Amino acid sequence: MQELKSTKHLIEIANRSNRLQFSPLEVKELFAFLEKQSEFQVPSGTLSIAFLKDQEHTRIHQEYMDNSSSTDVITFPGDPDMGLSGEICVSVDFAEKSAQFHKKSFDEEITLYLLHGWLHLSGFDDRGEAASKKMSQIQNKVFSRIQNARLVPKFHLKEGNE
């Protein structure tokens, strides 16, 4: 696990996918940028990021959300009194398939998942059609800011199975 300190958060990154390669510093820079977006504040403290294989991600989805389907990102709120901002769990395999399906870069897909988790931790909800539409619009707006600032981290998948 790698730890990186940003202004308000200690970013802990766990990469449990043998295939995923990235610069932890670029991920930290992304979250430092998100911290500066005053309308989307996440409680101060430790922010855990976990990049997971789909099997482990789906197990967590079943265990904590009572849903056995594969999904993109799962977010757990933290406990500010204990110095915990929250946790963002990303399915690397889901991102790979989704990027191909949506004809997006893998970098953009993973970054969208990280942003989506950040928005959940800042209080946005995507349950229900209206809430989902609102969150999607905000996500697209902030993602454009990330792209314009050239802060989409580079994520790479090594060839082969895990």
How far is Cα 96 from Cα 105, in angstroms, rounded to an integer?
9
How far is Cα 5 from Cα 7, in angstroms, rounded to an integer?
7
Which residues are paired to 85 by β-bridges?
A: none
Q: What residue numbers does the annotated binding site for Zn(2+) cover?
A: 116, 120, 126
Residue 88: name the closest of 135, 132, 42, 136 by CA.
Answer: 42
Residue carrying the six token digits 């897909």: 109
